[in-house]
Amino acid sequence: MGCCVNFQDELKQRTELIEGIIRRFLPKEEGFAKTMAEAMNYSMCAGGKRLRPLLLMETNRMFGGDQALAEPFMAAIEMIHTHSLIHDDLPAIDNDDYRRGRLTTHKVYGEAMGVLSGVALLNYAYETMLGAFDMAKDPLTVRKALGIMAKKTGLYGMLGGQSADVENDGKPMDKEMLDYIYRHKTSALIEAPMMAGAVLAGADEAQSAIVEKAAENIGLAFQIEDDILDVVSTSEELGKPVHSDEKNHKVTYVTLFGIEKAAARAASLSKEAADLLESLNQKNEFLIELISYLISRRN
């Protein structure tokens, strides 16, 4: 399955649609906390693939969901993701001055505002999602989706993964620990939008569990692909510095298993994810193609 012209066109169209949805949910830059709203919007408007809202929208569509109900969640998952990037870039964590070619939030607004506006985005994600109750036929569907988002974001999800990552920084790590970190730091924020998208469209527990497993594999494959790109790309191709893992003595799938084995693992995880989604007998060809596209960014 390649990236045909149609797929690229569709991807572009959908990404533009998502940009519009996200913008509708951003806070107004006014009042005494204007600077905080500006800092939140600065990072939210810094570009990016909008992959997580896209996965939410497509999984929701696959189960025949009402997009209006999914939209607050689409904006929210991007807020949650962006909040984690702002905090990752802080001096106390990765200490990055640039992201996507622009100064990072704390470089523009100061470190205190970096911490606070990151938190404010996470909190605003909840404020935004709560709005979905006002249009839901069944409030318990929204409650279920909220529960997924909260769990996958927190101690037992992405933040737990970040915690283990910070704690093991620069230390030798085995596959078990690396898997934990990838499955939480990365996969959890793929599982959250795909499961929320499914649940908001009425998917049952069994379907939601299959979506979760597929999303876990996609996240893991995506992260392994990142490890590979850091080694084989030029910084022009990647749009960010390469060989950073080597410089930071970071343990990755590539340092543990070598490029070839890492690439084979990413491919098999991606295949398994597509098979799982196809087993649901819900048709979304674009989603299947998207997964394949995500894991073959080198082509």
Nearer to a second copy by Cβ, of 164 and 209: the residue is 164
**CB of residue 118 to a second copy, shortest distance in Å:** 7
Q: Pick out residues in 12-31 that bind a second copy (CB under 8 A).
A: 27, 31
103 binds a second copy (CB under 8 A): no
First to last CA, the chain: 12
293 binds a second copy (CB under 8 A): no
**CB of residue 224 to a second copy, shortest distance in Å:** 19
d(CA 156, CA 175): 19
**CB within 8 A of 98, min separation 6: which ones?**
104, 107, 240
**CB of residue 63 to a second copy, shortest distance in Å:** 22
Q: Binding-site residue total for a second copy (CB under 8 A)? A: 55
Which residue from 59, 117, 270, 282 is in contact with a second copy, where contact means CB under 8 A?
117
100 binds a second copy (CB under 8 A): no
156 binds a second copy (CB under 8 A): yes
Nearer to a second copy by Cβ, of 127 and 245: the residue is 127
Which listed range, 2-10, 175-183, 254-262, 275-283, lies at the site for a second copy (CB under 8 A)?
175-183
DSSP assignment string, the chain: ----HHHHHHHHHHHHHHHHHHHHHSPP--STTHHHHHHHHHHHTS----HHHHHHHHHHHHTT--HHHHHHHHHHHHHHHHHHHHHHTSTTTT--SEETTEE-HHHHH-HHHHHHHHHHHHHHHHHHHHGGGGG-SSHHHHHHHHHHHHHHHSTTTHHHHHHHHHHTTTS---HHHHHHHIIIIIIHHHHHHHHHHHHHTT--HHHHHHHHHHHHHHHHHHHHHHHHHHHH--HHHHSS-SSHHHHTT---HHHHHHHHHHHHHHHHHHHHHHHHHHTTT---HHHHHHHHHHTTTT-
**CB of residue 156 to a second copy, shortest distance in Å:** 7
Nearer to a second copy by Cβ, of 111 and 275: the residue is 111
**CB of residue 194 to a second copy, shortest distance in Å:** 19
Sign of CA dihedral 287, 266, 90, 244: negative
Q: For tokens 């037992």, what's the residue?
A: 156
Q: Pick out residues in 179-218 that bind a second copy (CB under 8 A).
A: 180-181, 184
Which listed range, 68-76, 107-115, 246-254, 266-274, lies at the site for a second copy (CB under 8 A)?
107-115
164 binds a second copy (CB under 8 A): yes
Q: For tokens 């490029």, what's the residue?
A: 259
Binding pattern for the stretch 216-255 against a second copy, x by CB under 8 A and - elsewhere: ----------------------------------------
Nearer to a second copy by Cβ, of 168 and 233: the residue is 168
Binding site for a second copy (CB under 8 A): 27, 31-33, 35-37, 40, 83, 87, 90-93, 110-120, 122-124, 126-127, 130, 133, 139-140, 143, 146-147, 150-151, 153-156, 159-164, 166-167, 177, 180-181, 184
